[in-house]
Structure 1
Amino acid sequence: MSSTTAGEVAGGGPRPRPRRRSGSPRPFAGPSVSAFDPASIAPEVRDGAAAGAAAALGDVLRPWRGKYPDVHVEEESVVGQSAGHLVDASTDASLLVVGRRIRRSAIGPHLGPVAHAVLHHSAAPAAVVPHP
């Protein structure tokens, strides 16, 4: 009785490689997909979206402005990556306040990518406020 090693067959030769059947799927590394770029939107669509968001922001802030009239708030609605815009705005700010949702899970990150970027790159002091 002859002993065989891994990679050999009983006849003494190397183990044949499995052949691919025609029509079977082949591995394919497609083009990488990058994040959505708001600059690729037509300017009139982008400006319309920003104007609609600005109106909605004004509606949300209206009751708070009435309740706290001495607090100065500058509202700005922009299209693009939130973290980058907030970090850029922090150069002229006294305090940058960012909200985050409260996570109930004991595992996983408790800080999202926007709050994380603000904490690491903001020029002004940053406060992260949990919101249920």
Structure 2
Amino acid sequence: EVWDLSMTVLLFFVAYYVPWEIVCFSETTKEWPSLRVINRLLNLTFTCDIVLNFFVAYSNPSGDLSQSLWQTDPIKIASFYMAFPMSQGGLAGWFWIDMVAVFPGWYHFYCLVVHGDLYVSRYKFLEIARALKLY
């Protein structure tokens, strides 16, 4: 529950921070170094969330009382997480949405390391994909 609460707080932060960052820091302005640190920490945290979701049990959807309340089989957990997006009543398939939300940040980091600052600013708008995690 603590992890879920911290992820919720981060999502609200992202909902305000990413649009502000895209608008305020255009190609002609330099980013503050602290903003880069914040972006890397957000990417790292959301990536850890993806990894953790492969190991976290989910509530068993069947109403059968002979089964456990929680699904703990690692194969079923992984297939539930990687199912078609928003399937099973919006409960399954979050892996793909999470990947779309995390990919631009890691791509931004890759471009920064390989190509430098000039190349990075062209694709800064892709970070708005983090907002997908709000749904």
Considering fraction of residues, name the structure with more helix: 2
Higher gyration radius (CA): 1
TM over 0.5: no
Considering fraction of residues, name the structure with more strand: 1
Greater relative contact order (CA < 8 Å, ≥ 6 in sequence): 2
Q: What is the TM-score with the length of structure 2 in the denominator?
A: 0.24
Q: What is the TM-score with the length of structure 1 in the denominator?
A: 0.24
